[in-house]
A = this chain, B = another copy of it.
């Protein structure tokens, strides 16, 4: 599966659509006009920019600085416009200053690698022979668990059940052919890459796009969990003593994949292509050896011993086996998402590669199923079906080891492909406002850090929750994949019907068949495996769609609220201040504001004690050239008197109001009092200046009351109140 799972060397900017600069919304002409209106109101009301610039006590360009640190952090760009020169940040400046932060940055640099510049995003075209192994591990590796999943159901009905493996496989092959043909049409229509989310969104509407996206989100998580589980099973089949550590090994593998993808380095495609060829060779080896050996004896069908049929052969059983076996084709859509990575003519090359891949997939699938039929191989015990077949055909020597290693490696690469696809899907959804904007942000290694992190956590939870057991995960797997297939194919039907270019009828019919068959698999999988786990997906997918819609609604409202709009009266808060902002006059002896109408700001300093931190905050408050009121909340009358005494000792330089709080609460009464003052003069912006004690070590935080943080969260709920923290640093 793996939606926009382009190859590693390539995945950062397919079709030029992934870019680090897309995260900031552009203003349209209307908003720009509104911005100009706002700006005009400032003219005449505040001094010229030149006045402001002369007032700056520092040189913002850092030109004349002799500070050796500055060179490490910033360099002047000559390319900046003259009126707004630019500084470029160096890599050193991305490192935090604190000791803990530096240690963290060091660990990151070792594990993840040093930061990369945005310009490091580049394109690289692939030949078909390179593209095939790079784009197909997700699909081909499914052969490692698909047939086994099918047989696990059939064996419940004993020998009679196993006899059905060939006809059911035939049906799956038909499905593979049909979906494969369908994706050939997707390549034709979306030469820049058409993920199910994009195809469904463009042709069927955003809701259907989200449904496909939600299916894919679930699907990517399960791809990681199932591929890792199956890969670990290949290892524990060969070394059974490791099987008790299945969960630990799998979690370690997921962690390694996460770190590798956070590094986001441009891996050589060849490194990722090799396991695919190894795996194809391994399957070819056991199938050919097996068929030759079997053919020497005239293809006798061995019946496995001791088969207890616990279920009868029913339609339900057949359908369950079918939907389990259909997981063998997950990943078939990958090539259609990655058309731009092919050399020109991209479409033709991609279609040919897809055809080869589907042919390989069908051959390997059929070969494995035939072998299990002739050798009477049944799932169970501590060995995978593939491992049993390898033992039966090539013995237990070097060749057996090769088969297991190739299987484990290809599954690792398949799991890795989800780590490319998932963050990119969330990137596209976030660009459309359906996912948190954090998924748009690229980390300093050009990887979508947040997407990788979310996938890692989700896959680890699913993997550990199911004990690393492939077969328990299969019921959840098919639904998500085939929901995406169905919507993508249906979207294509609509696409062709709208276009009606040459041969559109043929193409539409192909996609219609694909859509109907995929939809059938969704229904079969959802109904027959509902209680086995499919219900999780059936519940989760609509839930994800709902959450995406809520997110979208919030972003739309936020954008509307945040963008300047000429049709809406602006809140006074963005207009120019009514008092002159930069002044060099005044000797400190002038009278206080006699006309309160001129006052726009008002400062409140809440104090618990009169220590140096409090005095520091009072001095800062007084320096702002605004009216100041100190407020003390006392738990008792005596405490209030004590504070008054200290205040008098200091000289009572500023107005003080004492609140006695016999219920000992501090924050809520303060917030209520400040709000009461705010109601008296809603036109005045109140600045609450809170002394904040800063400790050296994080654990020391619990030793000081978090009044500042609590007051902040209580007061931020009120509009028109600004919170200022004046830090006071403790020496230790």
Contacts and interface: CB of A to CB of B under 8 A. Distances in A.
Nearest to A60: B657
Interface string A298-314: 00000000000000000
Given A36-B649, A57-B627, A73-B673, A96 B714 contact: yes
B56 A87 contact: no
A62 B629 CA distance: 13
Contacts of A567: none
Interface stretch (A169-177, A408-416, A614-622): A614-622
B32 A649 contact: yes
Contacts of A642: 24, 26
Contacts of A117: 662-663
Contact of A730 (B561, B571, B669, B718): B561
B93 A672 contact: yes
Interface string A609-644: 111110110111011111111010101111111101
A676 interface: yes
Nearest to A623: B577
A270 to B, nearest CB: 28
Interface string A406-445: 0000000000000000000000000000001110011110
Given A36-B649, A70-B676, A662 B593 contact: no
Nearest to A117: B662
Contacts of A724: 687, 722-725
Contact of A660 (B46, B86, B587, B640): B86
Contacts of A704: 437, 558
A97 B672 contact: yes
A126 B554 CA distance: 62
A118 B694 contact: no
A74 interface: yes
Given A629-B60, A649-B35, A714-B96, A47 B581 contact: no
A531 interface: no
A574 interface: yes
A668 B619 contact: no
Contacts of A673: 73-74, 87, 89, 93
Interface string A207-220: 00000000000000
Contacts of A570: 612
A608 interface: yes
Contacts of A373: none
A604 to B, nearest CB: 9
Nearest to A24: B609
Given A57-B681, A60-B655, A93-B672, A586 B585 contact: yes
A117 B84 CA distance: 60
B627 A730 contact: no
A438 B705 contact: yes
Contacts of A653: 39, 42-43, 46, 49, 52, 576
A410 B80 CA distance: 80
A261 B663 CA distance: 17
Nearest to A647: B84
A90 to B, nearest CB: 9
Contacts of A694: 716-717
Interface string A92-128: 0111111000000000000000011111000000000
A672 B716 contact: no
A599 interface: yes
B592 A52 contact: yes
B655 A53 contact: yes
Contacts of A582: 590, 592-593, 625-628
Given A444-B665, A679-B69, A590 B579 contact: no
Contact of A731 (B67, B557, B712, B729): B557
A397 interface: no
16 contacts: A42-B650, A53-B655, A57-B602, A58-B677, A60-B677, A73-B676, A87-B658, A89-B660, A93-B673, A97-B671, A437-B704, A564-B615, A582-B625, A584-B594, A687-B724, A723-B725
CB-based closest 9 A-B pairs: A39-B651, A580-B588, A577-B623, A55-B592, A584-B593, A94-B665, A574-B615, A562-B611, A55-B627
Given A437-B705, A561-B612, A586-B586, 8 more contacts: A25-B609, A40-B651, A47-B589, A51-B591, A70-B676, A555-B703, A557-B731, A564-B615
